[in-house]
Every structure is written in structure tokens, then in C-alpha cells.
Amino acid sequence: MSIRHYNPGRNRRGRVSIAAERFLYVSLLLSIASQIVFLFNQNANFILASATFASVFSLAHAQLAFAKRYFWSYLIFVLLTGFLIELISINTGWPFGNVKYQNLGTTLFGVPILVLIFWLGSVHPLMIMARKIAPNWVMISGGAALTAYALFFDQILVANDYKTWEFSGAHIPFQTHIPLDNVIGWLFVGVVVFGLANLILPKVRRKISASMNSVDLFLVWTWIYNFIANLFFFGKQGTALIGGLAFGAILGWYLSKRYLGSPN
């Protein structure tokens, strides 16, 4: 009779190469560095650099963690969906209100290419967070995460005159230049986008996969940066409070499940 010893290591997921991991962190750190520079020099080129490096990071992580089917599905879905949503919003005022972009560079039918790069850089990390928080209700957790992210992000664009609204109704608390309808719009868009993305994007990670630690860093930095930027650099203390509480609560929920639950 033989005794078989259980080796938990056999079931552990392998790691991608050191070079691949370094590429992820370098692209993420370059995005972070561009954001920091932007605080002291509000030039749209630094926003472009930050968004581009963030998109490189998200796309690279998508490929290294979930393989090429996820990568191509994500790239095509986010670009098409983001473009259609922004195009409808700019031309109809729905679902984000009567919004206008300016000084953000090249546009496609009025939609700044930079805005589409923002979509590419943010949806993948937020999807990972949403799936971890509520695997069976990704459309809800994703909608909440995207809306909380927008509470931070929109105000930085508004503070630097890259995005403006024309409205006469209620505004977001402490954010007098952003209509309350914008929050409702982001919730609706988030539910639709993350509901569809959860159906389209594969859920199973590669056997040899990039870790989620770099995504955790992206999400934590997003909270820290937007809180500090709004509070100390752009004079938006209310935004720092509202956005900080909203995104911080979702981030805290995610991190508790990641590190107090069973990370995967």
C-alpha cells in the first residue's frame, strides 16, 4: 500500500516571466509619474501620457492574465462601446447631460481619442474588482465602481477646463459644475457595460498568469491620486470627500475579499 502526499503547490497557478511582470510595472509606474507631473503642469500632454501608459498596462495585463481571447474581446468591445456612448452623449445630451470636451486633441466624430484611451485603461482593472466583489452581480458592482471612479475623474477634467456642462438643474453635492443627472447616467452606463462585458470576457485565467498585485496597485493609486489631486491641487474638497468615500468603500470591499478571503 502506498501513501500519496497532497502537494498544494501542484494546483497553484504559475507566474509569467520576470520580464513580463517588469513590463507591467514599468508601464504602470510611467502612468503614475505622468499623473504626478500633471499636478504641477496642467498640460493635456501629460494626461495623454498617463492615459496611454495606463491603457498599455491594462491591455498587457489582460493578455498576460487572461490570454488573447480576452485581450481582443476587451479591446474591441471597450473601444466600440465607449465610442458609441460618448458619441450619443455629445450629440444628444444623454446619458451624461449636455457635456462638451475641449482642448483634448484629436477627435473622431467629435469624440476625443484621449477619452477612448481612458476607457481602455480603466475598464479592465474595474472589471477585476467588480468580479471579485460580487461574482454573481457584476453589472451592479461594476456600475457602482465605474460611477465612483467617474466622481473623481470628471472633476479633474472640469477643474482644468477640459470638460464642461451646460445645465440649470440639480448638481452633485459639492460639485457645482457637474449635473446630478451625470451620476444617474454613469450608473446606467456602468450596469449596461459591465453586464455585457461580463458575458463577453472570459473569466478563467491562464495557467501561467500575471498576478493581480499590479492591478491592486493601480486601484489603490487611483484612490490616493484622485483624493490628493482634488483636495490639495484643484481646490475640490467636496469631490475629495464624496469621491474618496464612494471609491474608497468599493476599494476597501475589494481588498478585504482579496486578502482576507481567498485570492485567485
Alpha-carbon distance of 128 to 135, in angstroms, equals 10
Contact 179, 170 (CB under 8 A): yes
* Backbone dihedral region for residue 171 (phi beyond 0: left; psi -120 to 50: alpha; all else: beta): beta
d(CA 63, CA 57): 10
User: What pLDDT is recorded for position 167?
Assistant: 81
User: CA 28, 122, 83: angle at the middle one, nearest 5?
Assistant: 130
Amino acid at 205: R
How confident is the model at residue 171, as a pLDDT?
A: 83
**Long-range CB contacts (< 8 A, 24+ apart) of 210-214?**
210/15, 210/16, 210/20, 210/21, 210/24, 210/61, 210/64, 210/65, 211/15, 211/21, 212/65, 212/128, 212/258, 212/263, 212/264, 214/21, 214/24, 214/25, 214/28, 214/57, 214/61
pLDDT, residue 123, reads 98
Give the per-residue pLDDT at 12: 57
Q: Which residues pair with 108 in a beta bridge?
A: 111
Other CB atoms closer than 10 Å to residue 117's CB: what's the count? 21
Determine the pLDDT at residue 8. 45
- The domain spans of the chain are 15-259
pLDDT in the model for residue 24: 96
Alpha carbon distance 224, 20 (integer Å): 26
pLDDT, mean of each 10-residue run, the chain (264 residues): 46 80 97 96 92 97 97 98 96 91 93 96 98 96 95 82 85 81 93 98 94 97 95 89 94 95 58
At residue 157, the pLDDT reads 85
SS3 112: strand
pLDDT of the residue at 86 = 96
Cell numbers that stand for 255 in this block: 481588498
pLDDT for 13? 66
Are 148 and 243 in contact by the 8 Å Cβ rule? The answer is yes
